[in-house]
Structure 1
Amino acid sequence: MLETTETVRSEYEPVQGRIAWIEQFTDQDKLYVISLPDDVELDHDPGQFVELFVPGVGEAPFSISSSPTKDGPLELCIRAVGNVTRALDSMEGGDPLGIRGPYGTGFDPEALAGDDLLFVAGGIGLAPLRSMINYALDRSGEFGDLTTLYGCKEPAEQLFPEELQRWDDSEEMAFYETVDQCPEDQTWEGREGVITELIPEAEFDPETTTALVCGPPVMYRFVIESLQEQGLADDHIYLSLERNMHCGRGLCGHCQINELYVCVDGPVFNYPEVRDKSEAEV
C-alpha cells in the first residue's frame, strides 16, 4: 500500500497526487505522469495497478507503467474509453488526482530471476508489461536473454514510440515489432502482420524461457497456441488479465473468473491457474 515515512495509510484513503505532465501517443492514449507527495512511496511490483480517483467523477483501476527501479513520479498509460478516462482526457498538468494502491498480484522478479524473458505485448497491453520490461533492462544481470514482441493494429496506434526505438537500438534486448496493417494515409517501413507471426522468428530456448503476455482478450488464445508450438511449457507462460476490474479489492465481482478475482488473485496469472477456467477465455 501507499505509505508515508511515518504511518501506513488506510487502503481506502487516497493519496493526493498531481499531474506533472501528459504525453499524447494516439487519439485515445496518453501517458499521465503523476507526482506524489514527497513523503509517499508507491513501492509496487511490476504488473500491479492503482485505483485512480478523479474528483467529482469517480475512480477506476489502471496498470502501473513505470518500473519500481525508477524513483520519481508514477506513470500510467490510459485509453479514453469511459467516464473516468474521458474526464482524465480533459485534464491538464497541475490538476489533482487521488491514488489508492498498489493492488493485485504482479510479476515476481525473484521467481523469474535467471530465466530468459519473452515479452509479448499487443496494443494497450504494452502499458503493464512496460513496467517489467524496464525492470529487467535496469537489472539485466539478474535475468537471461531478453526479447520483446510488440504489435498494434496500425502505425497510428503505436505507444511509447521513442522508447520502442531505444529498445530496437538496444544491445541488451532483442526487439520485434509489427502492425496488423498500414492504411494508405499512414507511413510504415516495418513489418505488417499479426503478432503471432513474430513468435517463430524470435530466437528463444523454450527450456530456459518464460513468456509474459498482455494484450486484448482475442489475442491470448492464439499467442498461447503459438508459444506451445515452439515448445514452451504452460507453466512457463504468465498472462496479465485486466478485464472488467473495478473496485480493486474483490468486492464488486465485476472481474470474477469462476472462483478467481482478477483484481486480487491477479491480474498476473501463471497460465495453468486459468487454463481450465471457462470464464477466462484463454
Structure 2
Amino acid sequence: MTVLSPGARPALPPSPYRVVARHPETSDAATIVLEPVRRALPRFSPGQFAMVYGFGVGDIPLSVSHIEGDRLTHTVRSVGAISARLAGLGPGAVVGVRGPYGAGWDLAAAAGSDLLLIAGGLGLAPLRPLISVFLGAPETYGRVNVLIGSRSPGDLFYSRERAQWQAAGARVLATVDRPDDTWRGDVGVVTGLLNRAAFGPARTTAYVCGPEVMMRATARDLTHRGIAPDRIQLSLERTMHCGTGHCGHCQLGPLLLCRDGPVVRWDDAEPLLSVREL
C-alpha cells in the first residue's frame, strides 16, 4: 500500500490532450498548445503546473504558460528524453496530462499595488499568465514592470508578446549575459534593471521565477529596496517528480514543493534556501 504525505493526492490516470499548435521559441525550446480529447481537466490558476506525459518516455512537471478556456499551453525546453519528445511534438500528437497541481501565484496580494514580474530564462513561462491578468484589468492594479534576464538574445522568450505587453502599458526591460552583434539592450544580471523600473516599494508586489541563485539574489535586493518579504513571491520548481507529494524528491525543509508550492513567499523561503544542499 502506498502511504501518502499529509494533504497529498493520489496520482490519477492522465487525461488525453491533443497538440493543436506548436511555436518554436529558441533553438532548444518550443511552446505547445493542448486541447482535451474528451473531458477537460479542472481549470488551472496562474502558477500551477501539470504533469505532462509523453507516451513511451514518461512524464515531467510543466508550468502552464497560458490559460485560455479548456486549452493548456506549455513552454518546453529540450534538456532530456521526455522534454525533448514533448518539445518536438507537432499538431495532432496526443499527450497525457494530470493536474492542476500546486499552489499558484497569490493574485489577491497584487490588488492596488505596483507590480514587478522578474524572470530568469524559462522562468518567464509561469509568469506569462500573470501578465495577461494584470494588463487585462488596469483599474485593479498599479504599474506593471516585466524584467527579463537571459543568457543571450537568442534565448529570450515570447518576442511578439513582449512588444504587445509594452503596447498595453507594461514597462518591459530585458538584459542578457552574452550579447551578440545585434544586441542594443542591457548587459548583466536582471537586478540591474530595477533601477529603471517604475514602482513604489511600500506598495509593490513582486513575482519572481528563474534559477534558484537568481531568485535568492533578486529577493534580497528587493527587500533592501524596501519591499516587504511577505510581498515577494517565488516559484520554486526544484526536483519535482511525482506531482502528488508522496515521493519526497521536491522536499525543501518542511515543504513539499509540488504540494505546498511551487509558489512560496520569500519570508517563508528565505530560511530554507539559506541551508546548503548536500
**TM-score by structure 1 length?**
0.89
Give the alignment partner of residue 80 of structure 1, picking from 74, 78, 81.
78
Task: Identify the residue that residue 44 of structure 1 maps to in structure 2.
Answer: 44
Q: Map 1:16-95; keep pairs closer than 5 Å.
A: 16-37=16-37, 39-67=39-67, 70-95=68-93
Answer whether contact 2:19 2:90 (CA < 8 A) is retained: yes
Task: Identify the residue that residue 214 of structure 1 maps to in structure 2.
Answer: 209
Letter in 1 for 2:175: T
* 3-state SS, counterpart of residue 274 of structure 1: helix
Stretches of structure 1 lacking an aligned partner (at least 5 in a row): 1-9
What is the deviation of 1:215?
Answer: 0.6
Distance 1:234 1:111, change over 3 A: closer
What is the deviation of 1:273?
Answer: 1.1
Task: Identify the residue that residue 178 of structure 1 maps to in structure 2.
Answer: 175
* 3-state SS, counterpart of residue 104 of structure 2: coil
Q: Report the Cα distance in structure 2 between the residues aligned to 1:247 and 1:117, rounded to whole angstroms.
A: 32
Give the alignment partner of residue 117 of structure 2, picking from 111, 116, 119.
119
Q: Report the Cα distance in structure 1 between the residues aligned to 2:164 and 2:242, rounded to whole angstroms.
A: 36
Q: Which moved more, 1:45-54 or 1:31-40?
A: 31-40
**Matching of residue 192 in structure 1 with residue 187 in structure 2:** yes
Distance 1:37 1:136, change over 3 A: farther
What is the deviation of 1:241?
Answer: 0.6
Task: Identify the residue that residue 229 of structure 1 maps to in structure 2.
Answer: 224
Task: Identify the residue that residue 241 of structure 2 maps to in structure 1.
Answer: 246
Q: Report the Cα distance in structure 1 between the residues aligned to 2:138 and 2:198, rounded to whole angstroms.
A: 18
Answer whether contact 1:200 1:230 (CA < 8 A) is retained: no
CA RMSD of superposed structures (Å): 1.9
Q: Map 1:127-146; keep pairs closer than 5 Å.
A: 127-146=125-144
Distance 1:247 1:41, change over 3 A: closer
Q: Report the Cα distance in structure 2 between the residues aligned to 1:183 and 1:215, rounded to whole angstroms.
A: 22
What is the deviation of 1:89?
Answer: 3.3
* 3-state SS, counterpart of residue 277 of structure 1: helix
How many equivalent residue pairs?
268
Q: Deviations over 1:171-190 (max 9, x none)?
A: 2x221111122134xx2122
Answer whether contact 1:234 1:272 (CA < 8 A) is retained: yes
Q: Report the Cα distance in structure 2 between the residues aligned to 1:78 and 1:281, rounded to whole angstroms.
A: 29
Q: What percent of counterpart residues are identical?
A: 37
Distance 1:281 1:94, change over 3 A: farther
What is the deviation of 1:39?
Answer: 4.0
What is the deviation of 1:11?
Answer: 5.3
* 3-state SS, counterpart of residue 251 of structure 1: coil
Q: Report the Cα distance in structure 1 between the residues aligned to 2:149 and 2:106, rounded to whole angstroms.
A: 24
Q: Report the Cα distance in structure 1 between the residues aligned to 2:173 and 2:85, rounded to whole angstroms.
A: 34
Answer whether contact 1:248 1:263 (CA < 8 A) is retained: yes
Q: Deviations over 1:152-187 (max 9, x none)?
A: 01101010111011122332x221111122134xx2
Distance 1:124 1:280, change over 3 A: farther
Q: Deviations over 1:177-224 (max 9, x none)?
A: 11122134xx21222221110012212101110110001112012212
What is the deviation of 1:37?
Answer: 3.5
